Amino acid sequence: MDNNVWNLVRTLFVAVLVISVATLGVAAVVGGNWVVWLRGAAVAAASVWLVALAGQAARGRRSAYVRIRFVTIAAPVGIVLIILAPDSGYPGWMKVEQGVVGVLVAAVAIAVNRRAVREAFPKRGKLG
């Protein structure tokens, strides 16, 4: 198992967590609406979970790896929809923040979907 990949993944998820907490701080200062608070809190909570999953995947837990793959492919799609939606309730500054989060999560998707990483987590019955 390549620990460099999991160190990178953990670092990127921690960056998402820091950005999300900062977003909640900005919302407190500028008076974010309920959509901003809900999204900011949800992304922050998900980031904590993803950091934990990265640790489990680094220790070889296939289910954690599969969850990370799913989330890092699905989340950027949702973020693009948020950014493109004209009447989503998200202010421009949060759309920019979500764009940054999307890039970080997409970087994780690229890292964990590399052949060497996928091969480190074989499906049951497909060993050697």
pLDDT in tens, the chain (128 residues): 568 999 999 999 999 999 999 999 999 999 889 999 999 999 999 999 999 999 999 999 999 999 999 999 999 999 999 999 988 899 999 999 999 999 999 999 999 999 999 999 998 765 54
Please count the helices (runs of H) and the strands (runs of E) in the chain.
5, 0
Q: Per the domain annotation, does 50 fall within a domain?
A: yes
Number of domains in the chain: 1
Euclidean distance between CA atoms 117 and 68, whole angstroms = 12
Q: Tell whether 99 is covered by a domain.
A: yes
Phi-psi region of 38 (alpha: psi -120 to 50; beta: other; left: phi over 0): alpha
Kindly report the pTM of this predicted structure: 0.91
The domain of 45 spans 3-119
In this structure, what are the phi and psi dihedrals at residue 8, rounded to the nearest 5 degrees? Answer: -65, -45
Phi and psi angles of residue 20, each rounded to the nearest 5 degrees, phi first? -65, -40
